[in-house]
Amino acid sequence: MGKFLNVPNLLTMARIVLTPVIVLEIRGGRHVEALVVFFLAAFTDFLDGWTARRFGIATPAGAYLDPLADKCLLSGVYFALAWSGIIPWWLVGIVFGRDLFILAGAGIVMFFTPVRRFPPSVWGKVSTFFQISNAVVWMARDAFRVSLLEIAAVLSIWLCVGFTIWSGVDYARRGFRIARTH
C-alpha cells in the first residue's frame, strides 16, 4: 500500500476526482470554471509524470492509472460538452469509437500473440493533443463568446476528427503488423 500511495499516484487520482467537477461545471453552464478546473487537472497530469521521473517513484499502478485518468477526463469532458449541446454527438462517437476500436484491436492481438505492450504511437499522441485542444477551444468559445473562437472551434473540430480517424487507422496498421510477425 505504501508504494501505491505516493505523490504521483495521488496527483493521478486527483485528476480522476476532478473529472466529475468539470462535467458538472460544463452541464451547469459555468464554462470559465470548467476551464479553470480542466487546466488544474491538466497540470496534475504534467506534475504526476514529472514527479515520478524526477524522484524515481514510478509504480506499475501509476503506469496503469495515468492513461486511465486521462481517458476519464477527456471522455467526461466530451460527454458533458455533447450532453450540453455544445459539440455534436457524432464527434463523441468518433472519439469514443476510436478508443473502443483500439481496445478491441489490442484484445485481439493479445489473444492471438504473446505481445502485451502497446506503447502509444506518434499519431495517437497527436490525436490526443487535438482532442484536448478541441475541448479547450469549445469550452473557451462558450466561456468568452469571442467571434475568433467561433472560427477556431469549427477548425478545431475538423482537425480533431481528421487526426482521430488517422490515428485509428495507424493503430490498425500497427496491430496488423504485430499480428503478422507473431
pLDDT in tens, 12-70: 999 999 999 999 999 999 999 999 999 999 999 889 989 988 998 988 888 888 888 99
pLDDT tier for residue 83 given thresholds of 50, 70 and 90: very high
Which pTM does this prediction carry?
0.90
CA-CA-CA-CA dihedral for 125, 23, 79, 43, to nearest 10: 0
Question: What's the pLDDT at 2?
Answer: 53
Closest CA to 73 of 22, 24, 29: 22
Residue of 65, 62, 66, 92 lying closest to 77 (CA atoms)? 92
Average pLDDT value for residue range 84-100:
96
Q: How many Cβ atoms from other residues are within 10 Å of residue 141's Cβ? A: 21
pLDDT band of residue 170 (cuts 50, 70, 90) is very high
The residue-averaged pLDDT of 113-137 equals: 91
pLDDT band at 3 (very low <50, low <70, confident <90, very high): low
> What's the mean pLDDT in 117-145?
92
Nearest 5 degrees, angle CA 108-CA 109-CA 113?
125
What is the model's pLDDT at position 161? 98
pLDDT surpasses 80 at 1: no
Give me the chain's average pLDDT, please. 92
| Per-residue pLDDT, 178 | 87
Distances (CA, A) of 123 to 130, 163, 173, 174: 10, 7, 12, 11
